[in-house]
Amino acid sequence: MNRNFIYSLLAALLGVCIGALAVLCFITPGRSSHKMDTTGGEWSKIDLVLKGISSNYVDTVDHKAVTEAALESILQTLDPHSVYMPPVELKASEDDLSGNFEGIGIQFNVPDDTARVLEVIPGGPAEKIGMQQGDRLIKVDTTVIAGVKFPQDSMVRRMKGPSGTKVTVTVLRDGSYIPFEITRDKIPMHSIDASFMLNDTTGYIRLTKFAKTTSNEFLLASLELLKDGMKSLVFDLRDNSGGYFDQALQLSNFFLDKGDEIVYMEGLHRKRENYRADGKGLLRDISLTVLINEGSASSSEIFAGAIQDNDRGVIIGRRSFGKGLVQEPFYMSDGSGIRLTVARFYTPSGRCIQKPYTDDYHYDIYRRYADGEMVAADSMKVNRELEYTTVGGRKVYGGGGIIPDVFVPVDTTRATDFYIQVTRKALPMRFASYFYDQHRSELSGIEDFSVLLKYLDSAALEAGFLKYAAEKDGLRPSAPQEWSEMHDYLMTQVRALVGRYSKLGDKAFYHIYLEIDNMIDEALKPHSIDLISQKS
């Protein structure tokens, strides 16, 4: 049954209900009308309409499709984050946050319309059977996925599957096609993309989500950095859309003193619950800087708000997403479920950072660009009527995300025409894949960062990239001055992408890429909470 038709049908029936049936009777004289008793409770109309459809509709009704469309429509009227999830979507979502999933155990990207293996997860089924970093994915079972613009999410779905089931993945390696019959298994997932020392005393951790394993991963990463001499930490939560609430609490607890409030939550049917630190955190004496941007949401904002309101560290970046709602899952016996908003969370100062439910709620980030907020601090939306104070007396504001203590704009200064063109065509990623094809044996053996840097310095990447851009897409810098303006910016990205093909993987990528990251530059400057307070 056509989905748009289902929505239209439900809108008509649920919106006017008895009136719609009355009109029907009016235009068909001589037929008896159907009266429905709506005194049976608050939701009786919905039940009556669905029963009326089932008993009277002119054609066969797809009950499952109508029911799911009704559920989606009902939840959409509540708030932007209460959702119905069919079985497949619910399982995929929970797998992503559970710290493991069932599949073959590879990470890949898709340069030039052919998926290329970036990482073979240690101990996973793909590694055990001999799949290697750099392999090109050609077929999954009998389905060709290379060179046919096959959707990346569909590739993932075909390779995932229940533990114990088999899938045959054919790869291209060194000119030979190799079919691997792989038995799927549980694959461990990591929420920390990278952790390393930025200098002799400053550690760096990038967290991509708050999964079930996050606090354990964070503890292990922190212990390694402390062993390396860490006195201060740059904690990168950019584009971290959140996850499990308890993980945000545990990470906050690493840094806060006993009794410090982390967050409280409250709703119409949920009594207020306060959450405080127990004073046993490993990193209470470590200087802390937190990086956020417009993609930092939910649990990321709980953490950033707790640190900011307790004057425990400096928040650097751009205004966060603004999701201050708490969802609880409700499961159904067919494997589907809903995530229903049951409360709002509030930072220690009392801020609710949920942004308003506007008609263009899901396009809010585009509006921020249009309003100039991404490049100018003065353009940030600040509701001065929702003013709060931190424990140290600094002013902070609610009503739409965490506003950073130190604003860092999107860097547009080096976006020349040549840079825009090569980026639009994904040339840095495509060149990295091409370079790896030529130097697989050399890159694959590198597992020390200093060795990698020496190799990249001697690899003539600049000449190789310019030649590749000219030959593949006819792209050249318009003048030497244009190339000099963006040379360091672009070639650092190229080096990072090539370095990713070493055994260091994402750790190499971020370590190199951060050299051109203006937010990291700001984070490495001395920032005092007292000085920030004077500016407030």
Which residues on adjacent β-strands are paired with residue 107? 119
265 CB burial (10 A radius; 0-12, 13-18, 19+): buried
pLDDT at 441: 87
6 band by pLDDT with thresholds 50, 70 and 90: very low
pLDDT at 8: 44
pLDDT at 13: 39
91, 160, 323, 381: which one is catalytic?
323
- The residue among 109 and 321 whose pLDDT is bigger is 321
Q: Which residue's entry shows tokens 């790869």?
A: 171
pLDDT at 23: 35
- pLDDT tens, 412-421? 888 889 999 9
17 band by pLDDT with thresholds 50, 70 and 90: very low
- The residue among 196 and 92 whose pLDDT is bigger is 196
Please name the helix (run of DSSP H) or strand (run of DSSP E) that holds residue 82, with its range, or none. none
Residues 6+ apart with CB under 8 A from 305: 263, 347, 348, 351, 353, 402
455 band by pLDDT with thresholds 50, 70 and 90: very high
Domain boundaries defined on the chain: 3-77, 100-188, 192-410, 417-504
- pLDDT tens, 190-211? 899 999 999 999 999 999 999 8
34 band by pLDDT with thresholds 50, 70 and 90: low
Percentage of the chain beyond pLDDT 90 is 52
Q: Among this protein's residues, is 323 annotated catalytic? A: yes
The mean pLDDT value of the chain amounts to 87
- pLDDT tens, 372-415? 999 998 888 788 889 999 999 999 998 889 999 999 999 888 88
pLDDT at 238: 97
Per-residue burial over 78-96, b if 16 or more Cβ lie within 10 Å, else e, is eebbbbbbeeeebbeeebe
The answer on pLDDT for 149 being more than 80 is yes
- Closest of 53, 55, 56 to residue 69, by C-alpha: 53
100 band by pLDDT with thresholds 50, 70 and 90: low
296 CB burial (10 A radius; 0-12, 13-18, 19+): buried
Multiple choice CATH, 100-188, 2.30.42.10, 1.25.40.390, 3.40.50.720, 1.10.600.10: 2.30.42.10
Q: Region 297-304: what's the mean pLDDT?
A: 96
Distance (Å, whole) CA 161 – CA 140: 12
pLDDT at 112: 76
Name the pTM for this structure. Answer: 0.82
33 band by pLDDT with thresholds 50, 70 and 90: low
- The residue among 99 and 421 whose pLDDT is bigger is 421
The answer on pLDDT for 25 being more than 70 is no
Q: Region 271-276: what's the mean pLDDT?
A: 96
Task: List C-alpha distances in Å: 220 to 68, 316, 419.
Answer: 43, 25, 39
pLDDT at 15: 41
Q: Among this protein's residues, is 212 annotated catalytic? A: no
Map residue 288 onto helix, strand or coil.
Answer: strand
Structure tokens at 326: 């708490």
Helices 299-309 + 245-253 axis angle, to 10 = 30
Q: Among this protein's residues, is 521 annotated catalytic? A: no
Q: Which amino acid is at 530?
A: D
222, 252, 298, 336: which one is catalytic?
298
Distance (Å, whole) CA 229 – CA 198: 11
Structure tokens at 201: 């005393």
- pLDDT tens, 499-535? 998 989 889 999 999 999 999 999 999 887 665 654 5
Percentage of the chain beyond pLDDT 70 is 90
Q: Region 213-231: what's the mean pLDDT?
A: 97
- The residue among 534 and 298 whose pLDDT is bigger is 298
Task: List C-alpha distances in Å: 124 to 133, 305, 382.
Answer: 13, 37, 48
185, 236, 260, 309: which one is catalytic?
309
pLDDT at 1: 46
Q: What is the CATH number of domain 192-410?
A: 3.90.226.10
Beta pairing class for 143-144 and 176-183: unpaired
101 band by pLDDT with thresholds 50, 70 and 90: confident
Report CA 365 to chain centroid distance, whole Å.
14
49 band by pLDDT with thresholds 50, 70 and 90: confident
- Provide, for the chain, the percentages of residues in helix, strand and coil under a 3-state DSSP scheme, each rounded to the nearest 5: 40, 20, 40
- pLDDT tens, 458-485? 999 999 999 999 998 899 998 888 898 8
40 band by pLDDT with thresholds 50, 70 and 90: low
The answer on pLDDT for 126 being more than 50 is yes
